[in-house]
Amino acid sequence: MPPAHAQIPVDDETYVLVLTGAGVSAESGIPTFRDLGGLWEQYPVEQVASPQGFRDDPQLVWSFYSERRRRGLTCQPNPGHLALAALERRLGERFLLITQNVDELHRKAGNQRLLEIHGRLYQSRCAHCQRPPFDDERCYDASGAPPLCEVCEAGGRMGLLRPHIVWFGELLDPRHFLEIEEFLERSRSGRLVFLAAGTSGSVFPANTLVDQARAAGAETWLVNAEPPDNAQRFERFVQGRSGEILPRLFG
């Protein structure tokens, strides 16, 4: 394992593709999913993060996401988020950030070249009509009826609103994968670095991005508190907290 002050050299030819997971937001006070005390210990995944769960009990799903909205509103980006926003300012088009996190802290930190592949906690959409997702910080509790779509109502139909989140068993937005492929193609003219940070690598298809990047010639790095299951898929592993490591990782 390289010394804690391992550095990724960055020059005018360097392209950096980053994948973050819940571990990057842990130091902002947002619980991860699979660590001790994580979200999936308190809530059965299939009941609160699947289409079937939403069909069975939309109120339970809305109280789960409302609790996360409420909690997230008081959380701020940590030095790990800020380091990635600074790297984007330094690299511009030679930077792309893919996040599995729905907490929007990368957005708050200033990242714009950002793909939120599992959705956005502070947006809702209609589960029945095609209205686009819209900003929504409202928190609903389990006692009230789940929120209804005003567009459907105006048309005399009943449509439930749902969080704009990709649940288990749902497809990710194909446009995100096109943007990733375009970035990987463009990076062939330079030197590509793939960095994953704060992710257990448990979820498909996000956990295949390291393979896609390696196939495009990337040097692969992982920053994580613990060696996750897929650590062996990375050439370099820097163990520790992302809030401490990311600010000093790029030379």
Instruction: Return residues touching ligand BV8 (CB under 6 A).
Output: 21-23, 26-27, 32-35, 38, 49, 100-102, 118, 165-171, 198-200, 202-205, 224-226, 228, 241-242
Give Cβ neighbours of residue 26 (< 8 Å, ≥ 6 apart). 32, 35, 198, 225, 241
Q: Are 211 and 40 in contact (CB under 8 A)?
A: no
Residue 125 CB, shortest distance to ligand BV8, in Å, is 14
Decide if 118 is catalytic.
Answer: yes
Catalytic, out of 118, 128, 164, 176: 118
Residue 214 CB, shortest distance to ligand BV8, in Å, is 19
Of residues 187 and 224, the one with the C-beta less far from ligand BV8: 224
Q: Measured between alpha carbons, how far is 251 from 221 in angstroms, rounded to an integer?
A: 14
Which SS3 state, helix, strand or coil, does residue 8 take? strand
Q: Are 138 and 122 in contact (CB under 8 A)?
A: no
SS (HEC) of 136-183: CCCCCCCCCCCCECHHHHHCCCCCEEEEEECCCCCCCCHHHHHHHHHH
Of residues 187 and 200, the one with the C-beta less far from ligand BV8: 200
Tokens 């390291």 belong to 210
Of residues 176 and 186, the one with the C-beta less far from ligand BV8: 176
Residue nearest to ligand BV8 (CB): 23
Distance of CA 126 to CAs 54, 60, 136, 201, 247, Å? Answer: 12, 17, 12, 30, 39
Residue 216 CB, shortest distance to ligand BV8, in Å, is 21
Of residues 154 and 171, the one with the C-beta less far from ligand BV8: 171
Residue 93 CB, shortest distance to ligand BV8, in Å, is 26
Catalytic residues: 118
